[in-house]
């Protein structure tokens, strides 16, 4: 394992490391001006293939606070990329000679993962398409941790568009990892997707419970509220009646932004989106709840609660700088936060032969023309499940072949479980397998 | 066709009425020789084959007013085998097809040959539009009985150049009217398209809406409406992409002109910011405009200004789409998803279920004057779709029947995939799998 650490996904950090990171960020936050000795002489490069001014400024401010320098390509999409330079070659040059750390923003899912394969310095994912934006999630977690002193056991309301916002999905997974409970208050029609709930169930043993949200008041008046908790039924029995789990005092409300294109008939000023205002904040359950929002907001949080001490969204945005300072200093090895190796995760292997099994049209493994080796992450044997190691989308396949026996089997067949992961080839249909010279395996034959 | 029956006999038993919800009732539908004979509870089979609907919701088969199956000529991009399988998968039992590659339908001979060719391999009923070009002017009367409408490109798009000479256009409008069929138009102004190209020499997909601008569509819609006023032609504007275009159509109608319009799912569900993320996947003509345009088009559909949703299904191999912007072809597949995408508008609460359904059934059939289609009414064709409104699925382009095997909606969780599709009393698709290999017939047309 290489000793360079990267931050591509929130899963690249262990819970313990995140805890240390938050402690470090809180230390930096006391007097951010007094750390300019820490990373003197170090340079971070901002490689932005699509614009995101706020993310970029926050990183650059953090690096400058640490006494380092920044070099910036804010419009990579229209510079070397349009001349046809591959991401791999750009990283070989920038992430070696020019800079000691790279912050990458790209429109293709998996770009940051690809960058780590070619960079000799740490890479931070500043957002890769609709895939991950781990520093955003870290900032949200950090803010919650600062306000509440812990994350485990908190009751956090996620409200609004829970369907399309990947930021919200990442946040929900992270909360589950920390052992927090999630109260889903969706905009009707924008409920948490089934695949998110399924992953929460499979990885964190979380069962969705219907909830009685009368004490959430106006905020939940039109929603079917669902409670996601890792707690066991006997721990919940006191709070559950015929109408479901009774929502009591919650610790935080995280409002989401309606994404314009997802809400086509909601023109300005005529919003039917959930709104948090003075009246809604009077609800009994929200008495001690902090209000969070990723900003920029539209009308989902009305200005009449900006002065409410529970509204922390501006503080939340400001905390992005000390958190990113901690992350930069940690990845550059200037503070002791990270272990030498990433926490263990599922096996990743290059695809041994055949076509790229990733079918997502905007994944970096499809959009990048050169220097990409398709890779697969093995998520489970029974049921057999594999994802693209770049964009994390489920691979779509009906058959799996073995490169040593040259046999292929239906994906659900027990024979597949006996194929070594690095020998597996994925086929959309039988014709694709036959085209590569694979033969249909016998139902019972042992497979190596 | 006179000496064969119109179709099969079938009793669909135990379906539920649309829209789903507390008001839905159990219903049976009996089709006799291809035509709906009776609708009600507790119908007898009276010799018809029986299909148990098990509580699935029943709607009429969808009418897609605009597809490109590229066959004959460019079968490697789609073909009627894949195309009509895709149609069934999307709940579509009737398509209106536009040939925009050679051989164009510019003579009765060419059009007849195309109809015969399509008949051999289409699983769905079909109408083939004749091309309205100076070269076809002398053949319009001869072609009129065989086509629902004449297709005119005011702006050049994939495969066909645009007509920009005002006098020629006036002549073509008059000739089509004299031949007794309506004009369906691709409205983008050639001069403004050229201007857009000139002023954005380094454009990428993110700027496609500036290259093929709002003004280009609006100017062209305005010209077309003027020509209707001058010549008395009946006009249907295909794939409207702007709110302003819809406003002009509304004005023209208020004035008493015979002007109607349709739009496509991508103009309702995507916007230019999403196209920036999708890259050339989101490159279509006309371009996808802003979120405000999407909102205006949804309203126009609800208000009855825009009549129908047609997919403008325009498949290309992914490799073609991955060329750089200026060389990547325009168009995206979506006929495979027409019902789930339409149902999505209702699920989001931006359209009533009834209005969403009408846009792909009754109003779609009415706007192009297609008798016998798009209604669950005795005497109409026995085209039926059964679906579970709560069944959710994640879009995986590689699993769709369209030959292009990618989708701009990759990863979206949609609902209501058609489970059973019936065409004139014959079950053509069950659980996503086609059960017929052909059998589609030319759509009935009103006499000229």
A212-229 pLDDT per residue, tens: 888 899 899 888 899 998
Q: What are A278-294's pLDDT values in tens digits?
A: 999 999 999 999 999 98
Which run of H or of E encompasses A45?
strand A43-48
How much of chain B exceeds pLDDT 90, in percent?
Answer: 90
| Residue where the block lists tokens 């109409």 | B380
Is A119 in contact with A138 (CB distance < 8 Å)? Answer: no
A248 against B94, higher pLDDT: B94
Per-residue pLDDT for A266 more than 60? no
* Residue A37 confidence (pLDDT): 97
Residue B24 and residue A85: Cα distance in Å, rounded? 58
Q: Among B246, B278, B283, B291, pick the best mutation site for testing chain A contact (most A Cβ within 10 A).
A: B291
Peptide bond into A296 cis (omega under 30): yes
CB contact under 8 A, B274 and A261: yes
| Residue where the block lists tokens 């916007």 | B271
Strand A252-255: give its sheet, edge to edge: A240-241, A244-246, A207-212, A226-229, A181-186, A155-160, A252-255, A290-292
Is A393 in contact with A357 (CB distance < 8 Å)? Answer: no
User: For A356, which residue in chain B has the nearest alpha carbon?
Assistant: B398
Peptide bond into B281 cis (omega under 30): no
Per-residue pLDDT for A268 more than 50? no
Q: Give the start-end residues of each E strand in A49-115.
A: 69-73, 101-106
CB contact under 8 A, B397 and A359: yes
| pLDDT confidence tier of residue A153, bands split at 50, 70 and 90 | very high
| pLDDT confidence tier of residue A101, bands split at 50, 70 and 90 | very high
Closest C-alpha to A134, from A311, A396, A392, A394: A392
* Residue B3 confidence (pLDDT): 46
Q: What are B168-182's pLDDT values in tens digits?
A: 999 999 999 999 999
**Count of positions (residues) in chain B:** 448
Mean local confidence (pLDDT), A375-390 = 91
* B270 near A CB under 8 A: yes
- Measured between beta carbons, the chain A residues lying within 8 angstroms of B396 are 359, 394, 396
Q: How far is B220 from chain A (nearest CA, A)?
A: 25
Per-residue pLDDT for A81 more than 70? no
From B273, B295, B407, residue closest to A265, measured CB to CB: B295
Set B189, B307, B312, B383: catalytic member: B312
Q: How far is A262 from chain B (nearest CA, A)?
A: 7
Closest C-alpha to A230, from A180, A190, A278: A180
Per-residue pLDDT for A233 more than 80? no
* A374 near B CB under 8 A: no
- Measured between beta carbons, the chain A residues lying within 8 angstroms of B296 are 267
Mean local confidence (pLDDT), A336-357 = 92
Strand, helix or coil for residue A217: helix
Strand, helix or coil for residue A307: coil
Residue A197 and residue A213: Cα distance in Å, rounded? 20
Q: Would residue B347 be called left, alpha or beta, if left means φ above 0 and alpha means ψ between -120 and 50 degrees? A: alpha
* Residue A242 confidence (pLDDT): 73
* Residue A232 confidence (pLDDT): 74
CB atoms < 10 A from the CB of B273, how many? 17
Is A109 in contact with A129 (CB distance < 8 Å)? Answer: yes
From A188, A261, A362, residue closest to B281, measured CB to CB: A362
Span of A203-207, A242-246, A389-393 with lowest mean pLDDT: A242-246
Is B272 in contact with B288 (CB distance < 8 Å)? Answer: yes
- CA torsion sign, B409 to B411 to B416 to B422? positive
Is B86 in contact with B69 (CB distance < 8 Å)? Answer: no
| pLDDT confidence tier of residue A259, bands split at 50, 70 and 90 | low
Is B343 in contact with B419 (CB distance < 8 Å)? Answer: no
| pLDDT confidence tier of residue A244, bands split at 50, 70 and 90 | confident
Q: Look over chain B and give the mean of its residue pLDDT values, rounded to a whole number.
A: 95
* Residue A79 confidence (pLDDT): 61
User: For A367, which residue in chain B has the nearest alpha carbon?
Assistant: B322
* Residue B436 confidence (pLDDT): 96
| pLDDT confidence tier of residue A260, bands split at 50, 70 and 90 | low
Is B277 in contact with B206 (CB distance < 8 Å)? Answer: no
User: For B413, which residue in chain A has the nearest alpha carbon?
Assistant: A193
- Measured between beta carbons, the chain A residues lying within 8 angstroms of B299 are 265
Q: For helices B243-254 and B214-231, what crossing angle results, to 10°?
A: 20
A55 is catalytic: yes
Phi, psi angle pair for B152, to nearest 5°: -125, 130
Q: Would you tell me which residues 107-136 of chain A have a C-beta closer than 8 angstroms to some C-beta of chain B?
A: 107, 129-130
CB contact under 8 A, A264 and B294: yes
Which of B44-68 are b and which e, b meaning 16 or more Cβ less than 10 Å from the residue's Cβ? Answer: eeeebeebebeebbbbbbbbbbbbb
* Residue A443 confidence (pLDDT): 62
Q: How far is CA A17 from CA A326, B92, B107, in A?
A: 11, 53, 73
Strand, helix or coil for residue A238: helix
Is B341 in contact with B298 (CB distance < 8 Å)? Answer: no
Per-residue pLDDT for A327 more than 90? yes
Closest C-alpha to B348, from B275, B263, B412, B289: B412
**Count of positions (residues) in chain A:** 448
A83 is catalytic: yes
Is A364 in contact with A110 (CB distance < 8 Å)? Answer: yes
Residue B62 and residue A427: Cα distance in Å, rounded? 32
| pLDDT confidence tier of residue A444, bands split at 50, 70 and 90 | low
Is B126 in contact with B118 (CB distance < 8 Å)? Answer: yes
CB contact under 8 A, B392 and A193: yes
Q: Give the start-end residues of each E strand in A369-432.
A: 375-381, 384-388, 399-402, 407-410, 424-427
User: For B350, which residue in chain A has the nearest alpha carbon?
Assistant: A265
From B268, B277, B322, residue closest to A107, measured CB to CB: B277
Span of A66-80, A257-271, B230-244 with lowest mean pLDDT: A257-271
- Residues facing residue B160 across a β-bridge: B157
- Residues facing residue A246 across a β-bridge: A212
Phi, psi angle pair for B369, to nearest 5°: 55, 55
Mean local confidence (pLDDT), B404-424 = 96
Is B123 in contact with B440 (CB distance < 8 Å)? Answer: yes
* Residue B7 confidence (pLDDT): 93
From A193, A267, A366, residue closest to B413, measured CB to CB: A193
* Residue A270 confidence (pLDDT): 44
Residue B374 and residue B421: Cα distance in Å, rounded? 13
A131 is catalytic: no
Residue A354 and residue A338: Cα distance in Å, rounded? 38
Q: What are B260-318's pLDDT values in tens digits?
A: 999 999 999 999 999 998 999 999 999 999 999 999 999 999 999 999 999 999 999 99
Give the tokens for residue B183: 């004009």
Per-residue pLDDT for A195 more than 90? no
Closest C-alpha to A29, from A167, A142, A170, A184: A142
Residue A258 and residue A245: Cα distance in Å, rounded? 27
Helix H, strand E, coil C: the string for chain B is CCCCCCCCCEEEEEEECCCCCCCCCEEEEEEECCEEEEEECCCCCCCCEEEECCCCEEEECEEEEEECCCCCCCCCCCHHHHHHHHHHHCCEEEEEECCCCCCCCCCHHHHHHHHHHHHHHCCCEEEECEECCHHHHHHHHHHHHHCCEEEEECCCECCECCCCCHHHHHHHHHHHHHHCCEEEEECCCHHHHHHHHHHCCCCCHHHHHHHCCHHHHHHHHHHHHHHHHHHCCCEEECCCCCHHHHHHHHHHHHCCCCEEEEECHHHHHCCHHHHHHHHHHHCCCCCCCCHHHHHHHHHHHHHCCCCEECCCECCCCHHHHCCCHHHCCCCCCCHHHHHHHHHHHHHCCCCCHHHHHHHHCHHHHHHCCCCCCCCCCCCCECCEEEECCCCEEECCHHHCCCCCCCCCCCCCEEECCEEEEEECCEEEEECCEECCCCCCCECCCCCC
Per-residue pLDDT for A264 more than 60? no
From B277, B278, B298, residue closest to A264, measured CB to CB: B298
A133 is catalytic: yes
User: For A106, which residue in chain B has the nearest alpha carbon?
Assistant: B277
Q: What are B225-257's pLDDT values in tens digits?
A: 999 999 999 999 999 999 999 999 999 999 999
- Residue ranges in A190-309 assigned as alpha helix (H): 194-204, 233-236
Q: Look over chain A and give the mean of its residue pLDDT values, rounded to a whole number.
A: 90
* Residue A269 confidence (pLDDT): 40
- Measured between beta carbons, the chain B residues lying within 8 angstroms of A359 are 396-398, 405-406, 410
* A396 near B CB under 8 A: yes
* B24 near A CB under 8 A: no
* Residue A261 confidence (pLDDT): 45
Q: What are B360-391's pLDDT values in tens digits?
A: 999 999 999 999 999 999 999 999 999 999 99
- Measured between beta carbons, the chain A residues lying within 8 angstroms of B324 are 82
* A85 near B CB under 8 A: no
Taking CB atoms and an 8 Å cut-off, how many pairs form between chains A and B?
97
Domains and CATH numbers, chain B: 61-367 (3.20.20.140)
Per-residue pLDDT for A448 more than 50? no
The DSSP call for residue A96 is: I
User: For A77, which residue in chain B has the nearest alpha carbon?
Assistant: B204
Mean local confidence (pLDDT), A45-74 = 95
Q: How far is B435 from chain A (nearest CA, A)?
A: 19
- Measured between beta carbons, the chain A residues lying within 8 angstroms of B397 are 359, 361
Closest C-alpha to B249, from B277, B289, B281, B222: B222
User: For A359, which residue in chain B has the nearest alpha carbon?
Assistant: B398
| pLDDT confidence tier of residue B60, bands split at 50, 70 and 90 | very high
* A163 near B CB under 8 A: yes
Is B277 in contact with B204 (CB distance < 8 Å)? Answer: no
Per-residue pLDDT for A126 more than 60? yes
Q: Among A82, A132, A199, A265, pick the best mutation site for testing chain B contact (most B Cβ within 10 A).
A: A265
């Amino acid at each position: 394992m290489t000793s360079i650490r990267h931050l591509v996904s929130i899963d690249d950090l262990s819970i313990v490391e995140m805890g240390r990171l938050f402690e470090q960020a809180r230390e930096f936050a006391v007097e951010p001006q007094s750390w300019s000795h820490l990373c003197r002489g170090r340079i971070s490069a901002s490689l932005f293939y699509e614009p995101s001014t706020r993310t970029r400024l926050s990183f650059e401010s953090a690096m400058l606070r640490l006494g380092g320098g920044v070099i910036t390509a804010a419009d990579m999409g229209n510079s070397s990329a349009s001349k046809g330079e591959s991401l791999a070659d750009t990283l070989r040059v920038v992430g070696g000679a020019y800079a000691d750390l790279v912050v990458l923003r790209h429109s293709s899912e998996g770009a940051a993962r690809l960058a780590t394969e070619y960079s000799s310095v740490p890479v931070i994912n500043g957002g890769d398409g609709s895939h991950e934006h781990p520093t955003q999630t870290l900032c949200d977690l950090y803010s919650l941790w600062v306000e509440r002193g812990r994350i485990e056991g908190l009751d956090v309301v996620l409200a609004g568009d829970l369907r399309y916002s990947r930021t919200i999905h990442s946040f929900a997974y992270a909360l589950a990892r920390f052992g927090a409970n999630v109260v889903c208050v969706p905009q009707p029609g924008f409920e948490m997707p089934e695949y998110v709930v399924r992953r929460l169930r499979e990885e964190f043993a979380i069962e969705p419970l219907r909830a009685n949200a009368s004490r959430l008041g106006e905020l939940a008046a039109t929603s079917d509220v669902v409670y996601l908790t890792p707690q066991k039924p006997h721990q919940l029995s006191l709070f559950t009646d015929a109408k479901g789990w009774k929502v009591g005092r919650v610790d935080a409300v995280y409002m989401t932004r309606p994404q314009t294109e997802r809400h086509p008939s909601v023109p300005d000023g005529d919003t039917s989106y959930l709104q948090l205002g003075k009246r809604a904040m009077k609800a009994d359950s929200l008495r001690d709840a902090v209000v969070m929002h990723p900003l920029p907001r539209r009308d989902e949080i009305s200005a009449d609660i900006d002065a409410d001490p529970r509204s922390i969204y501006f503080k939340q945005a400001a905390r992005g700088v000390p958190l990113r300072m901690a992350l930069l200093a940690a990845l550059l090895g200037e503070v002791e936060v990270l272990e030498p190796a990433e926490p263990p995760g599922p096996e990743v292997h290059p695809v041994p032969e055949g076509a790229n099994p990733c079918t997502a049209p905007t994944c970096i493994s499809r959009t990048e023309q050169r220097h990409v080796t398709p890779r697969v992450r093995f998520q489970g044997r029974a049921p057999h499940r594999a994802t693209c190691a770049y964009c994390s989308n489920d691979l779509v396949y009906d058959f799996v072949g073995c490169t040593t026996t040259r046999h292929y089997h239906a994906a659900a067949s027990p024979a597949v479980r006996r194929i070594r992961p690095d020998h597996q080839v994925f086929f959309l249909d039988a014709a694709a397998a036959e085209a590569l010279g694979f033969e249909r395996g016998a139902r019972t034959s042992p497979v190596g | 066709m006179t000496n064969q029956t119109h179709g099969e006999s079938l009793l669909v038993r135990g379906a539920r009425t649309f829209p789903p919800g507390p008001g839905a009732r159990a219903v049976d539908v009996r089709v006799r020789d291809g035509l709906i004979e009776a609708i009600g509870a507790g119908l007898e089979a009276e010799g018809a084959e029986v299909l148990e609907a098990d509580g699935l919701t029943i709607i009429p088969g969808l009418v897609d007013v605009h597809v490109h199956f590229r066959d004959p000529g460019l079968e490697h991009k789609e073909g009627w085998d894949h195309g009509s399988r895709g149609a069934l998968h999307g709940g579509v039992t009737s398509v209106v097809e536009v040939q925009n590659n050679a051989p164009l339908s510019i003579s009765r001979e060419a059009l007849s040959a195309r109809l015969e060719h399509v008949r051999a391999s289409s699983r769905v009923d079909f109408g083939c539009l004749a091309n309205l070009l100076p070269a076809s002017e002398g053949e319009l009367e001869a072609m009129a009985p065989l086509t629902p409408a004449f297709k005119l490109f005011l702006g050049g798009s994939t495969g066909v150049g645009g007509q920009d000479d005002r006098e020629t256009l006036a002549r073509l409008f008059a000739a089509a009217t004299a031949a007794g069929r309506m004009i369906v138009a691709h409205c983008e102004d050639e001069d403004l398209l050229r201007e857009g190209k000139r002023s954005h020499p380094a454009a990428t997909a993110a700027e496609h809406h500036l290259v093929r601008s709002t003004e280009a569509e609006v100017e062209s819609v305005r010209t077309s409406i003027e020509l209707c006023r001058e010549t008395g032609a009946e006009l249907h504007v295909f794939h409207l992409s702007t709110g302003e275009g819809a406003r002009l159509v509304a004005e023209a109608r208020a004035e008493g002109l015979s002007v109607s319009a349709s739009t496509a799912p991508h103009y309702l569900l995507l916007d230019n910011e999403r196209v920036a993320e999708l890259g050339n996947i989101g490159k279509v003509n006309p371009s996808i405009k802003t979120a405000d345009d999407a909102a205006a088009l949804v309203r126009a559909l609800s208000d009855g200004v825009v009549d129908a949703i047609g997919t403008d299904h325009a498949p290309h191999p992914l490799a073609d789409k991955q060329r750089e912007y200026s060389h990547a072809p325009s168009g995206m597949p979506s006929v495979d998803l027409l019902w789930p995408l339409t149902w999505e508008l209702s699920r989001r609460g931006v359209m009533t279920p009834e209005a969403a359904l009408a846009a792909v059934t009754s109003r779609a059939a009415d706007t192009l004057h297609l008798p016998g289609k798009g209604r669950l009414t005795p005497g109409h064709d026995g085209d039926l779709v059964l679906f579970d409104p709560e069944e959710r699925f994640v879009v995986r382009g590689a699993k769709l029947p369209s030959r292009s095997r990618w989708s701009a909606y990759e990863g979206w969780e949609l609902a209501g995939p058609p489970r059973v599709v019936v065409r004139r009393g014959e079950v053509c698709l069950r659980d996503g799998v086609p059960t017929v290999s052909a059998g589609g017939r030319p759509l009935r047309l009103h006499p000229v």
